[in-house]
Amino acid sequence: MACICVGPKGSGKTHLLSALKNESTIDITTHSVSTVGTNIFKIAIPNYLISGLNQSNKKEKYSTILEIGGCMAPLWRKYFNNVNKIIYVVDTSNLCQISCAGVLLYSIMADPRLQKTKFLLVLTKMDLAYRQMRNEALLMLQMAKLKKQLKQNLVIVEASPITRDGFEDIYKWLDTVRRKAIEGYKERKSEEDSKSKTSESNVKGPLHQGSGPTIDSSISDLEKLCQEREKQDGCNRVRIR
């Protein structure tokens, strides 16, 4: 159930994930250092956003996300094994970077290992006055072309760690994907269990089943047959036990 967060250098991954983890850590004065390597964030999903959670079951649900630094872009694909959620962060205020971000996103989504992966595209830094609006940003990312050519489901969210816009949608996405992954795992496990049960009963065969002859009864049948043959032949056969 691995979830990774990628995006170009300085696009706002660390800021976004820190704010999702702890709302009081990020404000207008916060600056973060470029991630050289990876960061792990354990994010608690607020109870009121978890669907199907009743009052008696107040256990907190977490999502663990691995951020991989933008400077590691050539190495991102080394982390793609067993990944079923990808958060892709794009800086809407960086005109020079946005087209390049689209190309990078395309190269990720085309990876054969990620054909069943769920994607969340976060258009971040929405608090800045000189940002691109949603439609302009999507145009620059060539989103229409990308959606035509690739089959994965891509959810798009506009967000800002400073104003906390879009955070509910991100938490809800994390919760649905987490729930679906658990349901899928349970289904696969019950299928495997039922398969192993049927194969076990096939391996046992008729000797182990109540209705068939037992080993003891087969031996006594054999002895009776020998005694009958001895009577018929009128001679003693050598019996080896």
Residues that bind ligand GTP (CB under 6 A): 7, 9-15, 31-32, 34-35, 69-71, 124-125, 127-128, 160-162
User: Interface with Mg ion includes 35 (CB under 5 A)?
Assistant: yes
- d(Cα 51, Cα 97) in Å, to the nearest integer? 37
CB of 31 to ligand GTP, least distance (A): 4
For 75, phi and psi rounded to 5 degrees?
Answer: -105, 0
Which of the ranges 14-22, 46-54, 143-151, 231-239 carries the binding residues for Mg ion, by CB under 5 A? 14-22
CB of 165 to ligand GTP, least distance (A): 9
User: Interface with Mg ion includes 14 (CB under 5 A)?
Assistant: yes
Residue 63 binding partner per list ligand GTP, Mg ion, none, with a CB distance cut-off of 5 to 8 Å that depends on partner kind: none
| Residue placing its CB nearer to ligand GTP in the complex, 83 or 162 | 162
3-state secondary structure of 17: helix
Residue 162 binding partner per list Mg ion, ligand GTP, none, with a CB distance cut-off of 5 to 8 Å that depends on partner kind: ligand GTP
For 4, phi and psi rounded to 5 degrees?
Answer: -120, 155
Are 124 and 94 in contact by the 8 Å Cβ rule? The answer is: no
Residues near Mg ion, by CB under 5 A:
13-14, 35
